[in-house]
Structure 1
Amino acid sequence: MDGLVRKRIRALRVAQGWSLEELANRANLSQSSLSRIENGRRRLALDQLVILARALDTTLDQLVETATDDVITSPVIDSAHGSMRWPVKGDPGMVVMRQRLTGPPPENPARMRAHPGREWLVVLSGTAVLMLGNRRFRIEANQAAEFPTMMPHAIGAEGGPCEILGIFDRDARRGHQREGDDREAQGTRK
């Protein structure tokens, strides 16, 4: 486990694009101490792991986890709305949702939703239309989009049904859950 934790520390640092010096500053460690931790020349101490996990924007549990029995995740199917969603293990706040869209999105920003967060989507088949305020984006199969959800937005299909995979961060997921509650109360869909 020791070697795995060291590799994770280095991989998370590199994924953030941080130098040894930058992570050392964020964790209030010397650059040489951090280098020795990553290279296995310094003992891993619990207090340092807590500080490094926080500096790397992860949890101690995620930094040291060893479970490999939950590699496969089953979707939650919502037949009423034609969607499937999967929790993303790396961040319990994120969710991936597959959705079949059949109609065009509203083009009036007053009818669009805005909420905190960020969304990503990949078009699996057909053509999707993403409305961001007054701007209209056509997204073909195998193309992706990323956008802040504080901008009024709506997603629909063009020229027939399309299927998308949407990825929602924690805040965007909460926004969609609230919207889903509103839609059920009003009997409408986004």
Structure 2
Amino acid sequence: MIRPEPGHSPGLTTWILAHEDGLYGKTVAKLRITPDRPGGSAQLGVHPGRDWFTVLSGIARLELGERTILVHPGEVAEFSTMTPHAIGAHEGPVEILSILNHDGGRAHLHAADHAAD
């Protein structure tokens, strides 16, 4: 049984469900993003790797390059993280399940892990 402890930062709560160390490891995380997250999704970032997520509840706003994509419950997004990107909440909180490779986990979850310290 998994009983993850939540990591908190403003507008973001993260539960690490599985984590494999190493260069080729993957991290599985549940994230709850609220619309009041500082900077919203206006700050696009890039890093090596690929990201994958599915929406559990709410609507995610995926900023991908110059496109804005609304991802609804049950839908999946997968993309190269070398494309400028950000994930935010659209018109209310959103919960997503994300699978990140080594680089994606370091880029997206590092701040939430340390905010809980």
Superposition deviation, residue 73 in structure 1: 4.1
Match of 1:86 in 2: 17
RMSD: 2.5
Are residues 1:143 and 2:61 paired?
A: no
TM-score normalised to the size of structure 2?
0.77
1:168 is aligned, of 100, 106, 110, to 100
Superposition deviation, residue 140 in structure 1: 0.4
TM-score normalised to the size of structure 1?
0.49
Q: Percent identity?
A: 37
Match of 1:75 in 2: 4
Distance 1:130 1:161 in 2: 14
Distance 2:109 2:32 in 1: 18
Superposition deviation, residue 74 in structure 1: 3.9
Higher helix share: 1
Distance 1:156 1:95 in 2: 19
* Contact kept in structure 2, 1:116 and 1:171, CA below 8 Å: yes
Match of 2:63 in 1: 131
Letter paired with 1:175: A
Name the SS of the counterpart of 1:112 in structure 2: coil
Letter paired with 1:155: I
Distance 2:3 2:101 in 1: 19
Instruction: Report which of the two structures shows the higher radius of gyration computed on alpha carbons.
Output: 1
Match of 2:89 in 1: 157
Distance change (3 Å), C-alpha of 1:125 and 1:151:
same
Are residues 1:105 and 2:105 paired?
A: no
Name the SS of the counterpart of 1:174 in structure 2: helix
What 5-or-longer segments of structure 1 have no aligned partner?
Answer: 1-71, 185-190
Superposition deviation, residue 149 in structure 1: 0.6
Superposition deviation, residue 175 in structure 1: 2.6
What 5-or-longer segments of structure 2 have no aligned partner?
Answer: none
Q: Runs of at least 4 residues of structure 1 off by over 4 A?
A: none
Letter paired with 2:107: G
Higher strand share: 2
